[in-house]
Structure 1
């Protein structure tokens, strides 16, 4: 819980009573590798904070191939905000890339925190704005670069991910085949 408290306090001030209420609402969840935190076609029902592990955001294209669009590692929130906030079905899967341990807030508890703690909405908004900007920045860098440059940028953006998740997920994120990724990695060394 300490990590989560430190994380949210970067975005605003809360008193001890507010922090205690937040702590009471959180539950721990162990999410085994390959399990889904939320699924496409369903409405996101929870907000998570990753204590240990990495999740990936992915979807299936019209050929049935899964495409990784984003990774989220420790000390970050994980939620499909659009689905969660607007009660609409998600268009992506949030899947444990490795075994994960999360703090989880149900939609009911999250909304209760929004209604009870005045600064909570501003904090949540700052977090989602920062994450959205990061997501756009990370993806836009991949569009116009060659595969080797994309891989080098991936290493810079996600330094704690590459040696912990299956290379198929990294290849999917980069838009290359696994054999191409192996060649790129071999040529860099």
Structure 2
């Protein structure tokens, strides 16, 4: 179990660094485009590259949310159900999510062969295979994130721990700690 936790933490940190990099890169591109546009020299590749960057940020950000189990759900509803029903709902939801991303990974990979000869319109030196690779890669990463975070989620579900209430209680605890530190 310790190995799984280490791998999960390493992947989480890697995803955090990568998504922050994507966010900074996208912000820099947008600000540069605005600056160049103000100077009357628009960047011809801005729209295409920014939309691809936003797509990548969305896909890889979703992976980060998956490994943290931070996607929207119904933890209060599931947590209030009897243990057997909770376990069934958990297993069914995991099968649906992982199955969905298996399909996305498979067809995303097939699309890469179709796009192998296409290039970006504004930057013809960049293949669409590179830009669209985020689809199958992030789908496989999503499955990995689900599998790595599953043992912790299973334990919380078995004990009836509601992740939303847990997050709220943690935020309250941190706010109270900050308040006490500010008073001292």
> Relative to total residues, which structure has the larger strand share, 1 or 2?
1
TM-score, length of structure 2 as denominator length: 0.27
Q: What TM-score do you get using the length of structure 1 for normalisation?
A: 0.26
When Rg is computed on C-alpha atoms for both structures, the one with the higher figure is 2
